[in-house]
Amino acid sequence: MIRVEKIHLCEIQLPLKEPFRISSGEVSMRRVLIVKLIDGDGTVGWGESVAGEQPYYSPETIEGVWIAIRNFIGPRVLGRTFEHPRDVFPALSEDIRGNNMAKAAIEMASWELAASKQSASLADLLGGSRSRIATGISIGIQQSPAMLVEKARASAAAGYQKIKIKIKPGADVDYVRSVRDALGPDVPLMVDANNAYSLDDIEHLQQLDDFDLMMIEQPLQWDDIVRHATLQAAMRTPICLDESITGPDRAEDMISLGAGRIINIKPGRVGGLTPAMAIHDICERHGIPVWCGGMLESGIGRAHNVALASLSNFSLPGDVSPSSRYWERDIVAPEWTMDSDGFVTVPRNKSGMGVDIDRDWIDELTVRSETFGL
């Protein structure tokens, strides 16, 4: 049972080791909204919002999420008793449209709080069975095929089990061919276009079928399902949807329309862990493999992703790279690490998310904060 009495928000600014470029923009300073929920008995629950600074991935932004939590989402949980954290998402969603990233930050922190309260690991509370998560890397758009090849080669050598290449028109077929030629046929490769194409590009995209890619992620519009079905019918490479899958209904739409064969589940995009698990279950019933995506999360969001990815149908490597891939110093201890076989271990012997918060470091990184409560 949980009953939140206080919500603390803070924005931290974490510099990325190197800028991350996707088709819709670049980020070098990650502005992260951290949520701390405080229960009536003093237990805390941690979460983070995946919203970016600009609405270049989804309509939400860090500023908007802050306001949505303060004005609409926060008041739905404050002072209210929930028997189980699975009851939080329905309470946040009743009559509140969209705002998935704002909902997710509070929803995920509620699960973390509940896990801590019952001295269970978050992975155990979610019912995940894996002890370690197969890990892939997402490589941003590089200036030349040669630079991409260098990054991809280093990633394969580090043990990553999947290499995802960000693409856009002008940095696609030649770039992917260079990597495939350099790394050979056995390295698992995929691409992510973040909406950079339209159905006018069908013939161009068909060239990617030559490279034996695991999948092409979200080639068309961020909210499109129907056109992806047309594209999937014209391509051998499986389409994986990311941006378009905003909830369980969209997953069903993808499956029934044949708009894709794989889903990238990000709990932060779909409103939290409860809807993420619902999507997982739908896909499992339909034989659709899923994997856990990433949004350049700090160690807090990463903890949630790792716990979620321990569920059975997360059968493909996730974008859950270790802390050192992103940050000089993460905000959790121990930091997230990956072994040389490309696995991240699911923490089980600690209650809650399985890592400690480096509060001093968070305080140093904080640029603004706000507490509200009963």
What positions carry a catalytic annotation?
166, 266
Residues from 220 through 259 that contact ligand OSB (CB under 6 A): 242
97-105, 181-189, 234-242, 272-280 -> range binding Mg ion (CB under 5 A):
234-242
| Binding residue count for ligand OSB, defined by CB under 6 A | 12
User: By CB under 5 A, how many residues form the interface with Mg ion?
Assistant: 3
- 322 counts as binding ligand OSB under rule CB under 6 A: no
Residues 6 or more apart whose Cβ sits within 8 Å of residue 87: none
The residue (of 192 and 330) whose beta carbon lies closer to ligand OSB is 192
Site for Mg ion (CB under 5 A): which residue of 39, 48, 192, 319?
Answer: 192
Structure tokens at 36: 């701390």
319 near Mg ion (CB under 5 A):
no
Least separation, in Å, of the C-beta of 164 and Mg ion?
8
Residues 187-216 that bind ligand OSB (CB under 6 A): 192, 194
242 binds Mg ion (CB under 5 A): yes
The residue at minimum Cβ distance from ligand OSB is 294
d(CA 43, CA 287): 39
| CB closer to Mg ion, 33 vs 245 | 245
Question: Which one among 39, 60, 319, 330 touches ligand OSB, defined by CB under 6 A?
Answer: 319
Binding flag, residue 296, ligand OSB (CB under 6 A): yes
Name the residue nearer to ligand OSB (CB basis): 216 or 296. Answer: 296
| Smallest separation, CB 37 to Mg ion (Å) | 28
* By the rule CB under 5 A, 224 interacts with Mg ion: no
**Residue 172 binding Mg ion, by CB under 5 A:** no
Residues that bind Mg ion (CB under 5 A): 192, 217, 242
Which residues of the shown chain bind ligand OSB in the complex (CB under 6 A)? 22, 57, 138, 192, 194, 242, 293-296, 319, 321
